[in-house]
Structure 1
Amino acid sequence: MRPFAIGLTAALAVAALVPAAAFAAPKDAKPAAAVDAKSREAGMKEAPPLLTQAGVACQVSDARLIGADKKSNTSYYEVACQDAMGFAVVAKKDAAPQAFSCVETGQPGSDGKESGLKCLLPGNADPKQGLKPYLTKAGAACDLQNARAIGTGNNNSFFEVSCAGGAGYILQIPVPMKVEGTVANSCLLYDETGNISCKLTDRATQLQVVDTLAAAAKNNCAVKDKRYILTTKTDNYFEVACQDGKGYVLQQATANGAFVRAIDCANAPGGAECTLTDTRAAKTEQAGLYTSLAKKAGYDCKVESYGLFPSQDPKKEIVELKCSNTPKGGIGIFSAAENRVYDCVTGELNGFRCSYTKADVEFTRLWDDLKSYNKAGCQVSGARIIGRTDTSGFVEVACADGLPGWVLSYPLNQASPKPNELLSCLQAKGVGGGCKLPTNIKK
């Protein structure tokens, strides 16, 4: 399982907040009660082209001239955008105009005083609502409760949002601000002491979602302890330790926050292993269960260790088995409807590659299959899967004597199939690019 990379090193390097001086009020700025027709008229006339020059997409619904500083030849505007974020615009003569979101300008400075560029227009009355389109575009399920600006670098602006239920996100929005390219990462991905981190909710609050997921799992787990594990492109993973000593990995869809499944710690996928629960006894018990299931499937394997493959069906387990009583491993398909175990050759033909079993362990099996076609003289010294159709898989084999090898065809979706066809490399040249093992290539 591969965690979703967010480039924290790069993120942490951008962290300077927009300077407080940029939000200082011009000397003739109008107070809230004085947003009059004259300032609106000037704003509606002058601000829209400045926003365009700043690279901000905005269908202006309202605007006002905040004021001007004649000494620095700088004018200040506020604009409200139709169904979007509002902005304060700083336009200095002979310089490109700058646009700051109303979330940024609405935050008090380090001295506790309000910014002179705080947005006052009715359309900007609740600036955080302007972040909703960015959350939606980023695929973050969030009933927005609060927001704050963190800072802006050369390429991105960073905002924190808190959501109902305790969840929170860091929004990374391209500069100039546009919905396309926005990324939302869970607050749980960030170090609480970092300069890009979540302050609106603490870690305990952010982990409240785990209790909801545990309840949805319906496995009678009274949560004793919990932790965040990792995030992939599609899912969040959490661990819970239960009062009865059991433990689970809880999988949550990032797209909508929904519970996906609970995975027993004994079967936790690679990269999401449990640390809050001692899983040794559980793993031993699970290995015994897989030994029994393999035996029912007609496969003699005393399971020493095992690893799970991802399964689209939560009621079906796909497990690689390592056996202590034989060097041969296998791929078990276990569910209420079926118990099936593939050997490692057949398993790979069906899309599951063994990692516990060495490739040459299966050479004897392939040699036996060649003998059924009176090809005992080809003692197998090499093999590889070369292709599949909807019904058959093809294995190229090389012969120890250096003579040309063969291609064996096997039916798919059968646990221990016999080959249904033997082809020479010449006959199999159209299958997966043909034979490639060194002794099978004509010199």
Structure 2
Amino acid sequence: MKISFDFKKMVQRAQTLAIALGLAIVASAGSHPAYAEQKKIEFSKAGKFKVDGVKVDTSAAFKIDPAVQAKSMADIPAIIALAKIDCDPVDAYLMGPTEFAKDDGTKVKGQLYEVACKTGPGFIITSISPTEVGQAFTCSLAAKLQATRPDSILCVLPENKPHYAWLTAIVQPYLPGCQISDARVIGSTSTEPLIDRYEVGCGAQAGGIIDYAQLGAKAPTEFKSCLVVDGTSSACQFTTKEQTMAVLKPVATTADKDCQVNNVRFVGVNKENDGMFYEFGCTNKPGFIALTKLDNTFERSITCASAAGLGGCKFTDAGVAAADANGTYSALLGKAGFPCTVTDYNVVGTQEQTKRDYVEFKCKEQPWGLIGFVPQPGSTAGVRVNDCFIDQTSRKNCTFVTETQLRAQIDKLIKVAQPGKDCDVSDVRYIGESDGIEGAVIVEIACSNKRGYIAIIAPNRNSIADSTPCKIAKSHNDPVQCTIAGNGTYSSAD
């Protein structure tokens, strides 16, 4: 979602402000708005105002006229219905007349109202006629504009003060107990979904970001942690890093009770869009990445060694993470019956259903490699790994042991199994695991002299348990036949 953070669009949305600035002076002076159009409002380039030639004190308290308030409450339902703004008005006040130029340059006059809603932001809107209204703008937007234009209009109804009062109810599902200490509108989208983005501060506790539908628009309300927008133009100003870390420390404790958290960052959203990845740095040990649900409850953790698909860890040195992973993997494989002092590894991918990583390992105890599924922390699934001979029958992901090395071993074994046949292996087709011998691999072997064999490589990979020439397999109608082009067409006449 692209958020525009300059004032251009917001000023367009508040096009009535240019003249309404003077009306704010009238209101703050306690003048009856019904008389405002009888007064002469003067503007200077310096932004100073005079009403009927008298300088107005803008700090004067606003006074509500009950009669004007009652009439405004009677008028406003039809006005907000015409504007198609979802608002159940609890208060309204006619602030006075205004005039502004429409997009086509036409100048129109209207009456400026402030509205307070039962839920949602208060706003200012111009009624032009019974069939036309001007663009409404929120009290929060007015407050933002006043930061750069001190004499600009502000909302004055008690229900709209402070301008962010309405946000208290909105943030409670996301920030329980939040007593808003400050809030600001950051920017607005110009394409669907049409939202205004607010930052909310909660005093001593962490605040966050609220995306809320623009006036007259339909869009879901969404909350974002300050970590999610850290380093962007939406970065939080009211929440410290320490406050955000305090919110997520329970997640780190659940994932690893020994971790002394010294840093945390947002990594990304999981592909189902129902969880968040956060990286934690630990003072006393390698860090990790944790997946949480949207309510920040812990789901599972991912070691930095397995986090390549998430962009890797930034708080844990790669060398430290690798050394930690080597030890962890060695223990895990050994416990599963695969002795392997891991010296290197390669995380190929992740099986989300079982929460297992597909990893290739390098170790001296396993000359033909190990590759397969190993559980992530917290997973109840088991280890399932094979050597690179079996890997060649399906995924072909081995890199530490190459196909050339495997072929060289097969060349050595077939020469022992078929002595005197002058078989220099030129090609190998890996067919699959043997049904009759556990751990054995069935292969088709092509020789450069066009001899060919269907062979079963023994589980220890140091011998061929059985080998059948392609010609014999064909004549016997064996279930496994040679398919490599030209294989088994050897003739003594060749």
TM-score by structure 1 length?
Answer: 0.63
Residues 340/438 of structure 1: CA separation in 2 closer, same or farther (3 Å cut): closer
Corresponding residue of 2:175 = 142
- For the residues of structure 1 that align with 2:411 and 2:158, how far apart are their CA atoms? 82
Corresponding residue of 1:390 = none
Deviation at 1:114, TM superposition (A): 8.0
Secondary structure at 1:36 match in 2? helix
Which of 374, 395, 398 is matched with 1:333 structurally?
374
Asked which structure has the greater CA Rg, the reply is 2
Residues 349/64 of structure 1: CA separation in 2 closer, same or farther (3 Å cut): farther
Are 1:38 and 2:71 an aligned pair?
Answer: yes
Corresponding residue of 1:205 = 243
Which of 329, 337, 352 is matched with 1:290 structurally?
329
Which of 76, 101, 113 is matched with 2:112 structurally?
76
- For the residues of structure 2 that align with 1:86 and 1:350, how far apart are their CA atoms? 63
One-letter amino acid of the counterpart of residue 328, structure 1:
G
Residues 110/103 of structure 1: CA separation in 2 closer, same or farther (3 Å cut): closer
Corresponding residue of 1:187 = 226
Does the CA-based 8 Å contact 2:88-2:119 persist in structure 1? Answer: no
Corresponding residue of 1:421 = none
Q: How does 1:77-156 map to 2 (within 5 A)?
A: 77-81=113-117, 83-91=119-127, 97-106=134-143, 109-110=146-147, 116-118=153-155, 120=157, 122=159, 127-130=164-167, 141-143=174-176, 144-146=178-180, 147-155=183-191, 156=194
Corresponding residue of 1:18 = 10
Backbone CA RMSD of aligned residues:
5.4
Does the CA-based 8 Å contact 2:79-2:127 persist in structure 1? Answer: no
Are 1:214 and 2:223 an aligned pair?
Answer: no
One-letter amino acid of the counterpart of residue 180, structure 1:
A
Residues 312/276 of structure 1: CA separation in 2 closer, same or farther (3 Å cut): same
Secondary structure at 2:236 match in 1? coil
- For the residues of structure 1 that align with 2:362 and 2:393, how far apart are their CA atoms? 20
One-letter amino acid of the counterpart of residue 36, structure 1:
Q
Does the CA-based 8 Å contact 1:322-1:328 persist in structure 2? Answer: yes
Give the gaps of 5 or more residues in structure 2. Answer: 28-32, 34-61, 101-108, 413-422, 433-441, 453-460, 462-482, 487-494
Deviation at 1:255, TM superposition (A): 1.0
Deviation at 1:320, TM superposition (A): 0.7
Does the CA-based 8 Å contact 1:60-1:79 persist in structure 2? Answer: no
Are 1:236 and 2:309 an aligned pair?
Answer: no
Structure showing greater relative contact order (alpha-carbon pairs closer than 8 Å, 6 or more residues apart): 1
Corresponding residue of 2:342 = 303
- For the residues of structure 2 that align with 1:350 and 1:32, how far apart are their CA atoms? 80
Residues 114/332 of structure 1: CA separation in 2 closer, same or farther (3 Å cut): same
Does the CA-based 8 Å contact 1:88-1:119 persist in structure 2? Answer: no
- For the residues of structure 1 that align with 2:221 and 2:392, how far apart are their CA atoms? 40
TM-score by structure 2 length?
Answer: 0.58
One-letter amino acid of the counterpart of residue 225, structure 2:
S
Corresponding residue of 2:491 = none
Q: Provide, for residues 412-434 of structure 1, a one-character-per-residue CA deviation record: whole Å limited to 9, x for no partner.
A: xxxx9xxxxxxxxxxxxxxxxxx
How many residue pairs are counted as aligned between the two chains? 384
Deviation at 1:398, TM superposition (A): 11
Residues 249/173 of structure 1: CA separation in 2 closer, same or farther (3 Å cut): same
Does the CA-based 8 Å contact 1:329-1:357 persist in structure 2? Answer: no
- For the residues of structure 1 that align with 2:403 and 2:326, how far apart are their CA atoms? 23
- For the residues of structure 2 that align with 1:205 and 1:278, how far apart are their CA atoms? 25
One-letter amino acid of the counterpart of residue 188, structure 1:
L
- For the residues of structure 1 that align with 2:445 and 2:5, how far apart are their CA atoms? 55
Out of 15-24 and 38-47, give the one that drifted further: 15-24
Does the CA-based 8 Å contact 1:235-1:252 persist in structure 2? Answer: yes
Deviation at 1:41, TM superposition (A): 1.6
Residues 247/301 of structure 1: CA separation in 2 closer, same or farther (3 Å cut): closer
Does the CA-based 8 Å contact 2:359-2:374 persist in structure 1? Answer: no
Which of 80, 99, 103 is matched with 1:47 structurally?
80
Q: Provide, for residues 169-221 of structure 1, a one-character-per-residue CA deviation record: whole Å limited to 9, x for no partner.
A: 334456556452555443224455x6433212233333332433333345223
- For the residues of structure 2 that align with 1:64 and 1:296, how far apart are their CA atoms? 73
Does the CA-based 8 Å contact 1:16-1:152 persist in structure 2? Answer: no
Out of 195-204 and 10-19, give the one that drifted further: 10-19
Identity %: 20
Does the CA-based 8 Å contact 2:92-2:113 persist in structure 1? Answer: yes
One-letter amino acid of the counterpart of residue 247, structure 2:
V
Out of 180-189 and 201-210, give the one that drifted further: 180-189
One-letter amino acid of the counterpart of residue 94, structure 2:
I
Does the CA-based 8 Å contact 2:97-2:111 persist in structure 1? Answer: yes
